[in-house]
């Protein structure tokens, strides 16, 4: 019994040390962010508000944006007129922690506070008619910027959620070296669209007119402008980007990408209780497990689960050579599960089931 007690004490000690180490890492990161912000302010960097595309129902809208300090020579356009950008430039801006942000939508005005990463992500209770609306955002010292907010009609019953990496673009994630290369070095115009996926998703939009499109990724908010230009240039439907932030939290060394996806799917289920989602992902990471878990919890909120199968070569590059072996993913009986290597094969299956 003494040995068991000793083992328990040792595990508790290890857990305590790990928790303290994570807290120290979190505090160090906070100090580093404050140092970067003070230095950026002292050298005259410019406050910039970046507004991201949002979505909403007739009773609320989700507003997304980020307050940053940018060097004058690196003010980056978020539209197709922007210059060819290498990934590392997206990470040179400094977030304005807890920035005060003004938001205007139609006749509504709100005064919000960003999080420690400068991100504004909030549901605002407003009543707006279905269709496109414009949100204007400004932080202290910045220009007023605008972004599209798509309001979904109450009678809409179908929506689309898509992963990004290895689903709409070939990135060879999660292998660390290639992930870093794609994020920090690769020229954005060299990123490769996944064959046939843009056409398939455009056909979905025409079949389900006015359906909301959401791109859910574990990528950092820093690359949002780059991703937006990529999606536009390759003719993907407009839609909100739901990204995350990197670095330690109060209880983890790194943010959990799977948790980010799970939380946003559950938020969509709450925001749109009558919408059934076509969930699109790939089998290179955890999308099959995440989507199957969601359909178990919210069976009435899923129209289909669509998984793009990586080729053997892509699977090796993604660091998961066993990806094409049979996966033990349980789903409720009657759930539509579709798999294919490209958009064309997926389109045929969606059409067979009346979704395209």
Domains, the chain, ranges and CATH?
45-75+88-151 (2.60.40.10), 158-353 (3.40.50.1000)
DSSP state letters, 235-256: TPPP-EEEEE--S--SS-SS--
Cα separation, 221 vs 326, in Å, equals 34
pLDDT of residue 258: 87
pLDDT of residue 72: 65
pLDDT along the chain (356 residues), means of 10: 53 52 54 61 80 96 93 51 49 84 96 94 96 97 96 97 91 56 60 92 96 92 85 95 70 63 96 97 90 96 96 65 60 93 96 96
pLDDT of residue 176: 55
pLDDT of residue 239: 96
Cα separation, 89 vs 94, in Å, equals 11
pLDDT of residue 45: 82
- What is each CA distance from 307 to 18, 51, 223, 295, in whole angstroms? 36, 31, 24, 14
- pTM, rounded to two decimals: 0.82
pLDDT of residue 126: 96
pLDDT of residue 226: 83
Percentages helix, strand, coil for the chain, rounded to the nearest 5?
Answer: 35, 30, 35
């Amino acid at each position: 019994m003494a040995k068991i007690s000793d083992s328990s004490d040792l595990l508790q000690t290890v857990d305590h040390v790990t928790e303290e180490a994570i807290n120290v890492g979190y505090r160090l990161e906070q100090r580093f962010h404050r140092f970067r912000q003070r230095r950026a302010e002292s050298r005259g960097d410019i406050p910039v508000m970046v507004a991201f595309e949002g979505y909403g129902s007739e009773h609320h809208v989700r507003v997304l944006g980020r307050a940053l300090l940018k060097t004058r020579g690196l003010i980056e356009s978020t539209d197709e007129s922007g210059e060819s950008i290498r990934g590392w430039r997206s990470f040179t801006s400094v977030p304005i922690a807890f920035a005060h942000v003004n938001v205007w939508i139609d006749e509504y005005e709100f005064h919000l506070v960003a999080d420690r990463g400068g991100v504004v992500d909030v549901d605002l209770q407003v009543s707006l008619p279905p269709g496109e609306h414009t949100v204007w955002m400004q932080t202290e010292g910045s220009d007023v910027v605008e972004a599209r907010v798509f309001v979904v009609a109450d009678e809409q019953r179908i929506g689309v959620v898509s992963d990004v990496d290895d689903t709409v673009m070939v990135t060879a994630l999660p292998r660390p070296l290639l992930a870093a290369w794609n994020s920090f070095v690769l020229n954005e115009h060299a990123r490769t669209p996944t064959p046939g996926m843009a056409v398939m998703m455009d056909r979905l939009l025409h079949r389900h007119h006015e359906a909301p499109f959401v791109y859910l990724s574990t990528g950092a908010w820093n690359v949002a402008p780059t991703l937006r230009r990529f999606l536009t240039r390759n003719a993907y439907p407009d839609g909100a980007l739901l990204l995350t932030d990197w670095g330690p939290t109060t209880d983890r060394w790194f943010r959990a990408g799977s948790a980010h996806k799970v939380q946003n799917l559950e938020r969509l289920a709450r925001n749109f209780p009558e919408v059934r989602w076509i969930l699109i992902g790939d089998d290179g990471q955890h999308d099959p497990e995440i989507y199957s878990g969601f359909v178990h919890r919210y069976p009435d909120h899923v129209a289909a689960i669509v998984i793009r199968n990586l080729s053997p070569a892509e699977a090796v590059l993604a660091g998961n050579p066993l990806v094409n072996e049979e996966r033990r993913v349980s789903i409720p009986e009657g759930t539509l599960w579709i798999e294919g290597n490209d958009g064309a094969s997926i389109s045929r299956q969606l059409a067979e089931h009346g979704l395209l």
